[in-house]
Amino acid sequence: MSVLYSGSTLKINLKAIADNYFILKAKAGGREIAAVVKANAYGLGVEKVAPVLKEAGCKLFFVANLDEALELREILPSSDIAVLNGVIKGQGKFFAENNIIPVLNSMEQIDLWSKTFNQKPSMIHVDSGMNRLGIPIDEYEKVINSGKLEKLNVKLILSHLACADEKKNTKNVEQLNIVRKVAELTPNFKISFANSSGIFLGKDYHFDIVRPGIALYGGNPIPNSLNPMKNVVEITANILQIRNIDSEETVGYGATYILDKGSKIATLPIGYADGYFRVFGNRSYCAINGKKVPVVGRVSMDLITIDITSIKDEINIGDEVEILGANVKLDELVELAETIDYEVLTSLGSRYRRIYTN
């Protein structure tokens, strides 16, 4: 859908994404950075984001499934693209024909790939404690001892941290010890272990290649600490209506907020269909000219209302209101919604007028 006349705007700073790439590369001691661009580059537009990361020096990109990989192949004809979910029956030829690398997550996927495409590049995911995808370390040893590993063209062994955003969690060290064992069993293979937060756990977690996702897009890889990444996303909305309240009134569905006499409210064209969560009603805020104003009443599908009584400057219909940006931080919205920054970004809808800046 082409969006030309929306009253809400999503601004994406591509230079900030490139800057974040270099911040992470420095933090990883110069290790290779493989960018995770699944879910449409975390909702920000893979067709715009991926070329910027390639220009910054990224050679390897991870996506979730084959559809995402085929889309990305159209954008990046020569880059290495790997599919985290691996390959299932009937898909192998599409991987091979488009030079897409499967991450083999099970004995079944290893056998499937080995039968026909064993000379094509692949990766193997060893589960170090997530218990989601990947083969356990004992099965990995069986793969080695059976000779199956020698028959594959394995480019990378990867594993995934379960609690990297909790630096003191003992699970991190437990997983690290398993990955170290993987490195001992197959010392000639490159290893990728650290995600965004994992990069900040220290050099022991870096190995050969790190795989940041959310941090590239401005998400905080070290929760409850100052965000070291540059802000990438700004959301604004233009005022649709301003109303002066002459007597005590309620606002919005369910009449959940009572407005005092003399209040002034503004209605904005953004709602839960745009990824502005319903939970923000009566608890979040926006900003006008750098000053925060509360969201009052429930969030509707297409609209929210804000109390602008405290703003003494002249405010008019059509004026721009900050929803997310310099004064309303992503971390703050994450805390208010009791969620994670991944969910906030990937929930952004398709109705914004998108502006990409450098």
Shared-domain flag, residues 165 and 242: no
Residue 183 pLDDT exceeds 90 = yes
Read off the pLDDT band of 39 (50, 70, 90): very high
Name the nearest CA neighbour of 24 among 177, 182, 151, 200.
200
Averaged pLDDT for residues 235-254: 96
- Pair 186, 71 in one domain: yes
135 and 280 co-located in one domain: no
- Report the 3 state secondary structure along 96-117: HHCCEEEEECCHHHHHHHHHHH
Q: What average pLDDT score do residues 302-314 get?
A: 95
Say if residue 101 is in the same domain as residue 242.
no
Looking at the 3D structure of the chain, how many domains does it have? 2
More confident residue, 2 or 225: 225
pLDDT value, residue 2 = 74
Q: Taking all residues of the chain, what is their mean pLDDT, rounded to a whole number?
A: 96
- Are residue 45 and residue 149 in the same domain, yes or no? yes
Q: Is residue 7 part of a domain?
A: no
3-state class (DSSP) for residue 237: strand
Residue 207 lies in a domain: yes
Q: What is the pLDDT of residue 24?
A: 98
Q: How far apart are CA 98 and CA 92, in angstroms?
A: 10
Q: Are 167 and 201 in contact (CB under 8 A)?
A: yes
Residue 228 has pLDDT above 90, yes or no: yes
64-89 pLDDT, tens digit per residue, is: 999 999 999 999 999 999 999 999 99
Return the higher-pLDDT residue of 2 and 201.
201
Domain shared by 43 and 165, yes or no: yes
106 located within any domain: yes
Q: What would the mean pLDDT of 128-152 be, rounded to a whole number? A: 95
Based on the domain organization, do 172 and 243 belong to the same domain?
no
- Are residue 203 and residue 251 in the same domain, yes or no? no
**pLDDT score of 1:** 67
Counting Cβ atoms within 10 Å, is residue 195 exposed (0-12), middle (13-18) or buried (19+)? buried
Q: What is the domain range of residue 264?
A: 233-328
CATH label of the domain that carries residue 313: 2.40.37.10
Kindly state the average pLDDT of the residues 7-36.
Answer: 98
Residues with a known catalytic role:
38, 253
- H-only helix segments in the chain: 14-27, 38-42, 46-56, 66-75, 92-97, 107-117, 137-146, 170-185, 196-199, 330-337, 341-346
Confidence at residue 4, expressed as pLDDT on a 0 to 100 scale = 78
- The fraction of the chain above a pLDDT of 70, given in percent, is 100
197 and 237 within one domain: no
Domain annotation covers residue 226: no
pTM: 0.95
Q: Is residue 66 part of a domain?
A: yes
The confidence score (pLDDT) of residue 343 equals 96
- The CATH number of residue 213's host domain is 3.20.20.10
The verdict on residue 26 lying in a domain is yes
